[in-house]
Amino acid sequence: MQFVIAFTLAIALMAADYYGQLMGSFRSLLLTTINPIERVATLPKHLYQLATTDFTNIDALKLENQQLKTELLLVKAKQQRFSNLQLEVSRLEALLGTAGQINTQSLQIATVTYYSNNPLSQYLTLDKGQLKKVSVQQTVIDAKGIMGQIIRTTPTSSRVLLITDPDHQIPVRIQRTGQRGILSGTGHDTTQLEFIPKNSLVEVGDLIESSGLGGVFPAGYPVAIITNVENKEGSPYFDITATPVADLYQSHKVLILSQATPYLNFDEKLPETPKEKPLELIPSTLGQTHVP
Amino acid sequence: MSHKLFNLKTSQARWVILVSYIVALALDTIALFGHSTPVIPPLTLFFLLYWCANFLDRTHLFSAFILGLLADTLYQTPLGAHALLFSIITFLMIRHRLRFKGYPVWQQAFFICLYMLLYQGLNFLFFNPILNSDDFVQYWTMPALSLFLWPLLAYSLRKFSHTAVNG
């Protein structure tokens, strides 16, 4: 009898979790329970790091400090250029009368406390949670590109599903051509670019960036680099393998981005934009447009 | 020594069992940490089967269910999937645990190997992991490894529970 109850309950839970996503808070509760165990599991590694850090040569630390200072200088220079570009884009947009496309997103720095990399699940655990206003579906990046998105949160931690996880998909575009597709995880540190038709221009080495479609991931962040393109007979699409640009398992500090541009609420009134005269079509010169 | 332990009731060794489950979960978490390999068997299930075979006054299905849910959280699988797997394996153990208890350890290990093979088979059906050639070999080697791990675990747990309960 107990087995029948356990069996039925397990099936019901699976259905509720898989189809309805109804078990979010229950899963968060379980995650909170398992959090201390995760911390204990990482203790040997932390102790090892602590022990090895103590024996690090002071010269090596000085060298690292120098390198970091140089890097900071370069980043600051790039930042200045970026600010100028941002201003210029805003000015051009104002001239064209279009809405601004650049979103300024708030960032939070978090530390990776645990990571798993096996064929079933590829995820990270971060040390920031609901208390720091981290919420589900926020994008996580490192210095090189997108790592994944937050799927569960507890008061003091959050779990990030990596882009290489078999359950993860992200809408992307090839930076060089603008061709859109879906990047799926394979479970083996690589990703697969899907739905790229065979008449597209794709090359090994092309950079894939987030397209922003779907409203979850912000647009324009690097995601992966194409490493292999196969033309399989009988399929209308290329078989494309890509390697993530982010250091998924080496990054210790990561950035949590605030939500990307939210979906438009269609009940909400859109802000009024200055009315422009519509394009006039001159019947005598059909096919030509005249801009007044 | 073993006779003394086997006559115990679950309520007398509740804390020992609870601590062993926490340790098993921590070991599973360590095994999953970083670049883990699918060759390491789920130690939580190992511990569960050991207690199920040695404490006959309970079915241990509740423990199986809760540990399964925690395993689902750990492995990031649909909630209830590991709970179902753990419940099925525990149920099979309950069906023949009286005979299992009477077997010598090497024979027990053989049965544990069969249970782990069933676990891996169901795991494969449920989650359909994408395995490359190396992972594929390691994945199906796990039951064989459990054959060698069981005597070690049985001896350690017997020693530990005897010390903890009888002092």
Render pLDDT for B118-145 as a digit per residue (tens, 0 to 9).
Answer: 999 999 998 888 777 788 888 888 999 9
Query: Bigger pLDDT: B126 or B3?
Result: B126
Q: B76-89, pLDDT tens digit by residue?
A: 888 889 999 999 99
Q: What is the pLDDT of residue B1?
A: 42
> C-alpha distances in angstroms, A283 versus A277, A278, A286?
18, 15, 5
ipTM of the prediction: 0.79
Q: What percent of chain A has pLDDT over 70?
A: 83
Comparison of pLDDT for B47 and A282, the residue scoring more: B47
Residues of B in contact with A9 (CB under 8 A): 65, 80, 83
For B144-157, the pLDDT digits (tens) are 999 999 999 988 88
Residue A104 near residue A247 (C-beta atoms within 8 A): no
Residues of B contacting chain A (CB within 8 angstroms): 22, 25-26, 29-30, 32-38, 59, 61-62, 64-65, 68-70, 72-81, 83-84, 87-88, 91, 94, 127, 129-132, 135, 139
Q: What is the distance in angstroms between the Cα of A6 and the nearest Cα belonging to chain B?
A: 7
Taking a C-beta distance cutoff of 8 angstroms, is the pair A23, B79 a contact? yes
What mean pLDDT is predicted for residues A190-196? 90
Residue of A nearest to B89 (CA): A3
Assign A179 to helix, strand or coil: coil
Q: How many domains does chain B have?
A: 1
Q: What's the confidence (pLDDT) of residue B54?
A: 86
| Closest among B147, B151, B148 to B110, alpha carbons compared | B147
- Residue A90's pLDDT is 81
Dist. CA B18–CA A30, nearest whole Å: 17
Question: Which residues of A fall within a CB distance of 8 Å from B84?
Answer: 6-7, 10-11, 14
Cβ neighbours of A20 in B, within 8 Å: none
Q: Does the pLDDT value for residue A264 go beyond 50?
A: no
pLDDT of residue A289: 36
Give me the pLDDT at residue B16, please: 86
The residues facing B77 across adjacent strands are none
Least confident among A205-209, A281-285, B47-51:
A281-285
pLDDT band at A281 (very low <50, low <70, confident <90, very high): very low
Q: What pLDDT score was predicted for residue A55?
A: 66
The average pLDDT across B7-23 equals: 81
Write out the two tokens for A44.
């040997």
Kindly report the nearest CA distance between residue A8 and chain B, in angstroms: 9
Indicate where chain A has its CATH 2.40.10.340 domain(s).
107-262
Interface test with A, best of B27, B28, B33 (most A CBs within 10 A): B33
Comparing B32 with A147, the larger pLDDT belongs to A147
Q: Say which residue, A254 or A274, is predicted with more confidence.
A: A254
Give the range of the structural domain holding residue B82, as residue numbers without chain letter.
2-166
| Residues in B touching A3 (Cβ below 8 Å) | 59, 61, 87, 91, 94
The pLDDT of residue A213: 87
Question: DSSP 3-state helix, strand, coil percentages of chain B (rounded to 5)?
Answer: 80, 0, 20
Residue numbers in A near B33 (CB within 8 A): 41-42, 45, 114-116
Own/partner long-range contacts of A18-27 (Cβ < 8 Å, ≥24 apart): A18/B78, A23/B79, A24/A136, A24/A152, A26/B79, A27/A152, A27/B73, A27/B79
Of A45 and B25, which is predicted with more confidence?
B25
How many whole angstroms separate alpha carbon A35 and alpha carbon A128? 12
pLDDT for res B116: 93
pLDDT for A182 beyond 90: yes
CATH number of A107-262: 2.40.10.340
Q: What is the per-residue pLDDT for B8?
A: 67
Contact B38, A118 (CB under 8 A): yes
Subunit contact A13:B22, Cβ cutoff 8 A: no
User: Residue holding tokens 């790091």?
Assistant: A49
Classify the phi-psi angles of B35: left when phi > 0, otherwise alpha if psi is within -120 to 50, otherwise beta: beta
Q: What radius of gyration do chain B's Cα atoms show?
A: 16
Query: Buried (b) or exposed (e) across A113-129, using 16+ Cβ within 10 A?
Result: bbbbbbbbbbbbbbebb
Q: What is the pLDDT of residues A81-131, one digit of tens each?
A: 787 888 888 888 778 766 555 556 678 888 888 888 877 788 999 988 889
Chain A residues whose beta carbon lies within 8 Å of the beta carbon of residue B19: none
Instruction: List the single residue in A3, A14, A116 with the smallest CB-CB distance to B32.
Output: A116
Q: For residues A58 and A98, what is the distance between their CA atoms, to the nearest angstrom?
A: 55
| pLDDT band of A161, cuts 50, 70, 90 | very high
The tokens 């960036």 sit on which residue?
A209
DSSP β-ladder status, A122-126 and A191-194: unpaired
CA dihedral defined by B147, B153, B159, B162, rounded to 10 degrees? -100
More confident residue, A23 or B108: B108
Q: Which tokens go with B61?
A: 């299905």
Residue B122 burial class via C-beta count within 10 angstroms: exposed 0-12, middle 13-18, buried 19 and up: middle
Average pLDDT over residues A270-280: 44
